[in-house]
Amino acid sequence: MAVDPSFVGRAYPPDEPYEVTRAEIAAFAEAVGATHPAHTDPQAARALGHPDVVAPPTWAVVVAQRSEAKHVQDPAAGVDFTRVVHADEGFAYTRPIHAGDRLVTTLHVDTVVERAGLGMVTTRVEVADEHGAPVATVTSTLAVRP
């Protein structure tokens, strides 16, 4: 197995706060075909009780992948990104993400196992606001081909 199982249990230091913008939410919504006006129109979002435009449910992948890059780009981890197939992604929200949020992510390596010759790496990114209040958890499994 090319990936290093000794990374299991590792938590990387929190990232610097990432400010979510209306433009990013709108571009992501367009890219994924999320057409609800609350993703692009602040008035429509406020009418639903949100403080500003609300991100589509999978938007958290934007900050999660930035955080996951610390593990993937660490040569000691043994993850050759040219040999990676994305196997699974999951999202659990404490609250929606809105424009103006300043999000801090912390990456955890939960499992590294071998299955049918593939190195399977599961990470968990805890997403919080800049004050430490939980926002979301993103889990991701990468299959690393030999």
| Rounded CA separation 32/39 (Å) | 12
Number of domains in the chain: 1
Give the CATH number, domain containing residue 135. Answer: 3.10.129.10
CB 85 within 8 A of CB 142: yes
| pLDDT tens digits, 29-77 | 999 999 999 999 999 999 999 999 999 999 999 999 999 999 999 999 9
* Residue in the block written with tokens 């929190």: 14
Q: Residue 146 pLDDT more than 90?
A: no
| Rounded CA separation 115/112 (Å) | 10
| pLDDT tens digits, 14-34 | 999 999 999 999 999 999 999
CB 56 within 8 A of CB 45: no
DSSP single-letter state for residue 75: G
Q: What are phi and psi of 8, to 5 degrees?
A: -60, 130
pLDDT of residue 117: 87
pLDDT of residue 1: 52
The per-residue DSSP string of 1-60 comes to: --S-GGGTT-BPPPPPPEE--HHHHHHHHHHHT---GGGT-HHHHHHTT-SS-B--TTTT
Domain that holds residue 25: 5-144
pTM, two decimal places: 0.94
